[in-house]
Every structure is written in C-alpha cells, then in structure tokens.
Structure 1
Amino acid sequence: MLEKFLAEVHVPEQVEVNALDSYMNGMLANNAITFSEDDLPEQGSDHNSALFITLKCRDTTVSKVLIDGGSGVNIIPLIVAQKLDVNLEKLPPSSLTIRAFDGAKRQAHGKATLEIKVGPTLFSSVFQIQESAGSFNMLLGRPWIHQAGAVPSTLH
C-alpha cells in the first residue's frame, strides 16, 4: 500500500505554494496508510513484540534499532559507537543519568550527533552513549520520533 501511494504521488507544477498543504491533505485522505489483519504477525494481536527497524549510519547498516516511545532520549551502546568509529575522546560530555529497563541508573559517557538514514530520509540526531548490554544496537526514543513525525505501531 505504501509503495503504491509513493509511486502515485505527483504534484502538478501549477499548484501554488499556499495551496500545497490542502492538495497534500486531500491526497493523504484519499490514500491513507492503513493496516489490515493480514499485516499482523503470526500470533495476531496477542503478540508482545518490540518494534525494531534497520537503518544506515556512517555507511553501515545497523539492525536491531529499537523504537521506544517510552524513552526520552536516543541511546547508542558504547560498543556500537566504537564499531561506528565515533571518536569517543572528542565527545561533548553528557550530564544525563539514564535509568535502564532494569531500573539501574547509568551515567552517559557523552553525547554524539549522528546522521542516520531511515528509509530515504536523513536525520541528524543526538544520541546518548552509554555502556549497556541491551537487546538493541540503537534506541530511537521520543526525540527522534517527534523529529521524524513518526507514529510507530507496535501492533503491526
């Protein structure tokens, strides 16, 4: 459905700039992105799976990127930052103490602004770098979700 919509999107040259919003809203209303029962995982709506995506960062494909609307920060584990050749010695310090999933508090090693590519879109996002052994290679929290204007669906 999304691929069909993107393939059909065409804005005529004669559309004036101040009418563009109305034009796009009309197209979106007629071509809403929706999900059906066919889009559910095998276990249906009873699943409790997290929402993971894959993205590009520094010309490297990064899998197991957790989308977490409950997190107020974007996080990258120290070991992943090292693999992406983030210069840890030149990081601006971070005064944040981050509470992990297990309730433990951990000080961030620093913060890094990284360019990430999600689908066709580039984002420049601030990540807190922390030593953690989580089940993710990156965590995109509310700062990125709001920046992207995303509406994540853990159901589908």
Structure 2
Amino acid sequence: MSKAHNQCQVPSDTSPETLVATLMNATKTAAITFTDKDLPSGSSDHNKALYIQVMACGKTVPKVLIDNGSALNVCPLKVASCLGLEASDLTPSDLIVRAYSNTKREVLGVATLDVSIGPTVIKIPFQVSNICSSIFF
C-alpha cells in the first residue's frame, strides 16, 4: 500500500475516504493480467483460483492463494509449523474469524512475516489459525 501511496500525488487537505479511494485505484494499476493464451487448454472459461509460490522464513510455500478482496491474510497452523514458527513467535490476538461456512475460527496469534514474491520482499501480517490446508510440504 505504501508503494501505491508513493506513486500518488494527494493534497494535504484530502479526506480519509478520498485517500482510501485514491490508494485503491492506484493499486488496481499494478495488477496481474492474462491473455487468451494463458487460458487452460480446451477451455475458454474457467473459475480456478490463482495460486503463486512465495518464500517465507527461508522456505518455499508452494501454493499461496491470491485474493486482494480479503479482509485478512490467513496462515494455517500446519504451514506456520512447517515454516518453523512457534507460539512464542506469534503476537496474541483475540480475533474470531467467521469462515465461508459461517463457522467461527479462533485466531491463535498474528505472525508478521517477510514474504518474498519474485524480487519483492513485503512484511505481511498473517492470522494463524488451526484450519485445514491443501498445502503439503
């Protein structure tokens, strides 16, 4: 978000609402785009999620779901353990997350990780929760 902010020229008397709208528009310009050549073979229509591979804690996380519409970043406890994180590495949190199935999930803590995506390193806070994951190490 700060990268997007640095690319914007915003007057000092801008309202918070206008500033948020400006930042959101700026981040939309830095998007991952695809052409028809990138579609799965034999299909012109699909609804598959976009996963990328990232580095965190010196290890490769092979499948990371990209969803910039999410309100928070979730890290399954199994993934956090595989990255070498322990309970003492987490910042306490009393947050309860409601899943798509309307079930409540307790957040065990927040892990702020330096995540490498290609040449870029970003510090990202993750809500660590004991949920199932399709990621295998």
Specify the SS of the correspondent of 1:80.
helix
Mean CA deviation greater in 95-104 or 59-68: 95-104
> Separation in 1 of the partners of 2:42 and 2:62?
23
Normalised by the size of structure 2, how large is the TM-score? Answer: 0.68
SS at match of 2:62: strand
Partners in 2 of 1:54 and 1:107 — Cα distance?
Answer: 26
Q: Which residue of structure 2 aligns with residue 40 of structure 1?
A: 39
Q: Distance in 2 between matches of 1:136 and 1:68?
A: 17
* Residue 43 of structure 1, CA deviation: 4.5
The percentage of aligned residue pairs carrying the same residue is 43
> How far is 1:135 from its partner?
3.3
Determine if the alignment matches structure 1 residue 119 to structure 2 residue 118. Answer: yes
8 Å Cα contact 1:53-1:66 kept in structure 2 = yes
> Quick check: 1:66–1:136 contact (8 Å CA) kept in 2?
no
Q: 1:111 offset after TM fit, Å?
A: 0.3
Q: Which has the higher contact order (CA 8 A, sep 6+)?
A: 1
Instruction: Please report the RMSD computed on the Cα atoms of aligned residues, expressed in angstroms.
Output: 2.3
Per-residue Cα deviation, 1:108-145 (whole angstroms, up to 9, x for no partner): 000011011001100011000000003357xxxxxxxx
Task: Measure how far apart 1:59 and its partner are.
Answer: 1.2
Q: For the residues of structure 2 that align with 1:73 and 1:102, how far apart are their CA atoms?
A: 17
How far off its partner does 1:35 sit? 3.4
Post-superposition shift, 1:74?
A: 0.7
**1:63 deviation in Å?**
0.9
Distance 1:115 1:36, change over 3 A: same
How many residues were matched structurally?
107
Confirm or deny that 1:49 pairs with 2:48.
yes
